[in-house]
Structure 1
Amino acid sequence: MRQLSQIYLLLLLIAPITGCSTFSYYSQAISGHLSIMLRKQPNTELIANANTPPELRRQLLLAEQARTFARHELALPVGGAFSEYVSLGRPWVVVNLVAVPEFSLSPHQWCYPVIGCQAYRGYFSLNEAREEQAGFQEQGFDTMIGTVTAYSTLGWFDDPLHTGFTALPDDRMVALMFHELAHRVIYIKGDTVFNESFATAVELEGLRLWLQQTGSEEGFTQALKRLQYREQTLTLVRHASQKLHHLYEQQESLGTPTLRARKKQLFDELADAYAGLAEQYSAPGPLGSPPVRLNNAHLALFRQYNQHVPAFRQLLKESGYDFGEFYRVTKALAGQSTTSRDAQLQTLSERFVEYL
């Protein structure tokens, strides 16, 4: 699972809390986030410290370069983000739960104060995530739990660098920094697809420019392969989603056994097609390494992060690759109704032609 944004971690400190389960969830969120914030150390101190492992020092220097690049070349509001480091002792920061009804592609929404509803719920405790997952499974939901490399507090806190970042190859660490910083630019309450697609587009275009400037031909080649893998996977997911949506619309005319049998067949076909695609690539793909077992939750999550990426990349192109202008136009788009902005994003996607 890709990185997700969870501004509610800050807002929980001031929001009213009612109900035992709500209190338990919010307590783990607050304590988990604060434990990270209290352990961070300035990058500059770690870089100057003779006891800092050489590889970590190199990565921190790289992060400082990426921060400067993001500020000047991508017009991102860097502030103090990623200027400090925390060792987590693991390559992920939280785990996230996604739950989708058995015959639907619309994920369950968890709602929070101020920021609205999101299609996932994050936990610092894997056991607590599994407990809630069990509850949804008892209701017949398709579910998945995935590790999350990073989350954003959208500028309310100066998010630190941590081992979720430094466990990644250099280009992917830099790309993840760009993605999280993009969440500081704009956030639409309750529209996960818009927010994540926008941040992913900034990530991809930012990485393209970064690799060109740093002269990393090998890194650029690998990034192009990952992008191609992502786009081909997205095509498979879109086709499968269309077939599943058509199937789920027939719930009143088809019995549950028939629905389940046809659903299984469609997911088996998707898994087989993805396995065939994976033969072209040496690295694991967006849905993991085959054989994969997929359900509605996997498709819902993947679509959230990729559905409007071509549209935003086209919008950046039409903005003359002026990131400041791109952000201005995106904010104007965000101010429109959901129906209007979705229609415009669809039109932009139809105009998009891969140019990397």
Structure 2
Amino acid sequence: MTQTRGVARSAIKAALVAAVAVLGLAGCSSVSYYWQSVSGHLQMLNAARPVDDWLTDTQTPAQLRQRLLLSQRIRSFAVDALHLPDNASYRRYADLKRSSVIWNVVAAPVLSLKLKTWCFPVAGCVGYRGYFSEADARAEADHLGATGLETSVYGVPAYSTLGLMNWAGGDPLLNTFIRYPDGELARLIFHELAHQVVYAQGDTMFNESFATAVERLGIQRWLADEAAHGNTAARSDYAVFDQRRQQFRALALATRRELAAIYKEKEAAAQETPAQAAMKIVAKEKAMERFRSRYAELKKAWGGFAGYDPWVARANNAAFAAQAAYDELVPGFEALFAREGGDWLRFYDAVRHLASLPKDQRHQALNHDSDSPHNSDNSDHPKLP
């Protein structure tokens, strides 16, 4: 078994190194970035072992064993009830000995909610740049900040390789999220598997909003199934957690819209005088003060729950713009699901069709769907990155 795993790892490394050699043609800085991406991913793959190995290992803590068993029930539900891919992903587990698998860097101008983008093979152009080292991520953020951009760095518990690495064991379960509450664990697995169903290159908002819609639609069915099998605690616990999330999302969305109105993105920057820019800065600062004040009120109503404190602490244009990618088109996807009669396979086919259209057309179609009567109550559904 050891020899087989060694050969497999060598094959993975060879394939990834070859990818770096191709990608590195862009320049030395690109070589460095892609190498940290490849080596970090390879380390994660090497640390992963089949869930069954962990379950039979007498050294595995009882709590971890229980969470791994739950993850496999969730994984089976994803296949049987939601028709998500049945493959190697989330059949292995790795303890990375850190709190996040990667740290994302996002950046935006001082008076804009338009994210800076980076372009990569396969993924296309996206509004974030991921690092396996938090120090490297913060160094990049400092570099971008020195150019005048607002930046945000946030830890990510999981990411998807879009099914491209299933031949090498797929995306593993990780210590960064395995101890999430039951409903949150299910939600994350549904979200990441959704990325393997449909992916539109270079359209982060479409991809993340689709995955968010799948997680939202899927979690309600999973909770109902858990309750039917006697696990009523999962449903009640999730209800408390999700209520707070929805209230915070509504606040963040309102602030994002307020900022967008202040910036008036469609105005040509060349036409803006220094005096007008200064007025926008003042209005922006007042909007951010209102955001923090309203958050303090929410926190008080939650009995002091401080789970969103880190996000609020780093809240700026970059953070709000990154959040938009995860929720802007969710109402349209939910409306599309309803229009397809709640049939998952028909829904996925419809989303694949949208992904084949030009970006502006697919967004227009989803925004049109979100205005339909049966979806009028979904305006407060942003999702934190």
TM over 0.5: yes
For residue 344 of structure 1, the aligned residue among 362, 365, 371 is 365
The CA distance in 2 between the partners of 1:169 and 1:39, in whole Å, is 24
Q: Does 1:17 align with 2:24?
A: yes
Q: What 5-or-longer segments of structure 1 have no aligned partner?
A: 1-8
The CA distance in 1 between the partners of 2:103 and 2:94, in whole Å, is 18
Moved more, 79-88 or 167-176: 167-176
Distance of aligned partners of 1:188 and 1:288 in 2 relative to their CA distance in 1, 3 Å threshold: farther
The CA distance in 1 between the partners of 2:30 and 2:220, in whole Å, is 42
Q: Does 1:281 align with 2:302?
A: yes
Moved more, 76-85 or 225-234: 225-234
SS at match of 1:97: strand
Name the counterpart of 2:197. Answer: 185
Please tell me the residue identity of whatever aligns with 1:167.
R
Q: What 5-or-longer segments of structure 2 have no aligned partner?
A: 1-15
* Structure 1 position 296, deviation (Å): 0.6
* Structure 1 position 224, deviation (Å): 4.2
Distance of aligned partners of 1:342 and 1:332 in 2 relative to their CA distance in 1, 3 Å threshold: same
SS at match of 1:165: coil
For residue 255 of structure 2, the aligned residue among 203, 223, 237 is 237
For residue 289 of structure 2, the aligned residue among 268, 271, 279 is 268
For residue 329 of structure 1, the aligned residue among 347, 350, 355 is 350
SS at match of 1:144: strand
For residue 243 of structure 2, the aligned residue among 225, 238, 241 is 225
Larger radius of gyration: 2
TM-score, with structure 1 as normaliser: 0.90
Greater fraction helix: 2
SS at match of 2:23: coil
SS at match of 1:262: helix
Name the counterpart of 1:253. Answer: 273
The CA distance in 1 between the partners of 2:376 and 2:56, in whole Å, is 46
Alignment of 1:204-219 (within 5 A): 204-215=216-227, 216=232, 217-219=235-237
Q: Does 1:88 align with 2:93?
A: no
Please tell me the residue identity of whatever aligns with 2:273.
S
Say whether the 8 Å CA contact 2:23–2:34 is kept in structure 1: no
* Structure 1 position 108, deviation (Å): 0.5
Moved more, 184-193 or 341-350: 341-350
Distance of aligned partners of 1:62 and 1:354 in 2 relative to their CA distance in 1, 3 Å threshold: farther
> C-alpha deviations, 1:268-327, integer Å up to 9, x for none?
223223333444435446x54686452110110111111111111111111111111110
The CA distance in 2 between the partners of 1:194 and 1:274, in whole Å, is 28
Alignment of 1:156-195 (within 5 A): 156-157=164-165, 158-195=170-207
Please tell me the residue identity of whatever aligns with 2:131.
Y
The CA distance in 1 between the partners of 2:67 and 2:190, in whole Å, is 15
CA RMSD in angstroms comes to 2.4
Distance of aligned partners of 1:23 and 1:14 in 2 relative to their CA distance in 1, 3 Å threshold: closer
Say whether the 8 Å CA contact 1:117–1:190 is kept in structure 2: yes
Name the counterpart of 1:5. Answer: none
SS at match of 1:164: coil
Name the counterpart of 1:198. Answer: 210
Distance of aligned partners of 1:246 and 1:187 in 2 relative to their CA distance in 1, 3 Å threshold: same
Say whether the 8 Å CA contact 1:104–1:248 is kept in structure 2: no
The CA distance in 2 between the partners of 1:144 and 1:290, in whole Å, is 9
The CA distance in 1 between the partners of 2:193 and 2:199, in whole Å, is 11
Distance of aligned partners of 1:272 and 1:293 in 2 relative to their CA distance in 1, 3 Å threshold: farther
Name the counterpart of 1:4. Answer: none
Say whether the 8 Å CA contact 1:78–1:181 is kept in structure 2: no
Distance of aligned partners of 1:270 and 1:12 in 2 relative to their CA distance in 1, 3 Å threshold: farther
For residue 105 of structure 1, the aligned residue among 106, 113, 122 is 113
Alignment of 1:36-75 (within 5 A): 36-75=44-83
Q: After the TM superposition, which parts of structure 1 deviate over 6 Å for at least 4 consecutive aligned residues?
A: none
Please tell me the residue identity of whatever aligns with 1:113.
P
